[in-house]
């Protein structure tokens, strides 16, 4: 049995891509997208018509309305391949505006529903800022399920759980990147791999906390740099994996052992905590890695959203 099939015994496998033509070979349950993946996809010949046709169908429409239609068309195409859910992201430039995030999320969901897609099959991705988490709290009350992304710290995870969001996406690889860069020449790759990987440790802590304290939010590890990080989180609720790493798992028969489970979480010594707004902002401020990676991630997604805007404007010229 290859590693991908072994992993499925413990964890729901999700594909992290906008390239829906690649999905079938890996048989993922769900799929996730982000602005960078969508931008990459629409620059390929196979997917460019999704953009050009949408622009042609919406003469005179607002730019952000066209973008949302493009995102939903990608989501619809993905849902024809996967049996589960697709995650569609709200514009990262709204990360510090709860009301605008709520409005945009509702419009995206309305587009899906008007296309005959039930809301149970869609997760709205929102950055894990304080404002994003509060937006998700309200959306969840309305039955719009959310995937809180760009999550790097324990305080973000706790606040998401308290907001009763459906799912969080802690970023394993970007945490690893920060600590490796920070250590410089002193970094010991062998000593900091597997269960000792800082990104793996972060997700493990969050998983244990949620399971021990009955938090129903799903944990989906994301942003992997290698298959070692993935197999070290076997047993996590979900793992979203790039096609390149899915292919590597599919071609390896090395053993995969469950690392995360409910019983281990119950034995963990991890107290229940709460974060109001002031405590949340202070805890995030005190975590240099999380502060830097959250800001960096928002800037990168916002930059790619702006590039997509520019492509649309060029098509309308």
Q: Is 166 a catalytic residue?
A: no
- What pLDDT is stored for residue 20 in this prediction? 86
pLDDT tier for residue 12 given thresholds of 50, 70 and 90: very high
- What pLDDT is stored for residue 286 in this prediction? 98
**Residue of 80, 125, 164, 181 marked active site:** 125
Position 64 pLDDT exceeds 90: yes
Per-residue pLDDT tens for 160-183?
999 999 999 999 999 999 999 999
Nearest C-alpha neighbor of 296 from the set 192, 185, 175, 157: 175
- What pLDDT is stored for residue 40 in this prediction? 92
Q: What is the mean pLDDT of residues 263-279?
A: 96
Burial of residue 210 (CB within 10 Å: 0-12, 13-18, 19+) is buried
- What pLDDT is stored for residue 256 in this prediction? 98
Q: Which two tokens stand for residue 283?
A: 């805890």
Position 35 pLDDT exceeds 90: no
Judged by average pLDDT, the poorest of 18-32, 124-138, 145-159, 200-214 is 18-32
Domain ranges of the chain: 3-316
pLDDT tier for residue 31 given thresholds of 50, 70 and 90: very high
- What pLDDT is stored for residue 98 in this prediction? 98
Nearest C-alpha neighbor of 63 from the set 74, 51, 75: 51
CA 139 to chain centre: 17
User: pTM of this prediction?
Assistant: 0.96
**Distance (Å, whole) CA 308 – CA 38:** 9
CATH number of 3-316: 3.20.20.70
Task: Please state, rounded to an integer, the average pLDDT across all residues of the chain.
Answer: 96
Q: Which residues of 102-132 are buried (b: 16+ CB within 10 A; e: fewer)?
A: bebbeebbebbeeeebebebbbbbbbbbbbb
Nearest C-alpha neighbor of 286 from the set 156, 161, 176, 195: 156
- What pLDDT is stored for residue 137 in this prediction? 98
């Amino acid at each position: 049995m290859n590693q991908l099939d072994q992993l499925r015994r413990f964890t729901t496998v999700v594909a992290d891509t906008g390239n829906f033509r690649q999905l079938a070979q890996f048989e993922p349950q769900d799929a996730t997208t982000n602005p960078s993946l969508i931008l990459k996809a629409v620059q390929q010949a196979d997917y460019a018509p999704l953009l050009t046709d949408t622009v042609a169908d919406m003469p005179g429409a607002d730019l952000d309305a066209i973008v949302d239609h493009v995102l939903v068309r990608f989501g619809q195409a993905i849902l024809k391949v996967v049996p589960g859910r697709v995650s569609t992201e709200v514009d990262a430039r709204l990360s510090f505006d709860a009301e605008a995030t709520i409005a945009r999320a509702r419009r995206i969901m309305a587009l899906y529903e008007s296309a005959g897609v039930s809301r149970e099959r869609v997760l709205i991705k929102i950055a894990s800022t304080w404002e994003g988490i509060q937006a998700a709290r309200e959306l969840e009350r309305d039955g719009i399920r959310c995937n809180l992304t760009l999550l790097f710290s324990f305080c973000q995870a706790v606040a998401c759980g308290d907001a009763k969001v459906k799912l969080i996406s802690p970023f394993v690889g970007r945490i690893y990147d920060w600590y490796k860069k920070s250590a410089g020449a002193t970094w010991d790759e062998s000593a900091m791999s597997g269960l000792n990987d800082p990104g793996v440790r972060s997700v493990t802590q969050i998983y244990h906390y949620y399971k021990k304290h009955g938090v129903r939010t799903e944990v989906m590890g994301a942003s992997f740099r290698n298959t070692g990080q993935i197999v070290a989180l076997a047993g996590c609720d979900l793992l979203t994996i790039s096609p390149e790493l899915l292919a590597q798992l599919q071609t390896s028969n090395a053993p995969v052992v469950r690392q995360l489970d409910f019983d281990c979480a119950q034995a963990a010594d991890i107290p229940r905590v709460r974060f109001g707004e002031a405590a949340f902002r202070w805890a995030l401020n005190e975590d240099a890695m999380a502060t830097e990676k959250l800001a960096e991630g928002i800037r990168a997604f916002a930059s790619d959203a702006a590039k997509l805007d520019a492509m649309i404007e060029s098509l309308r010229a």
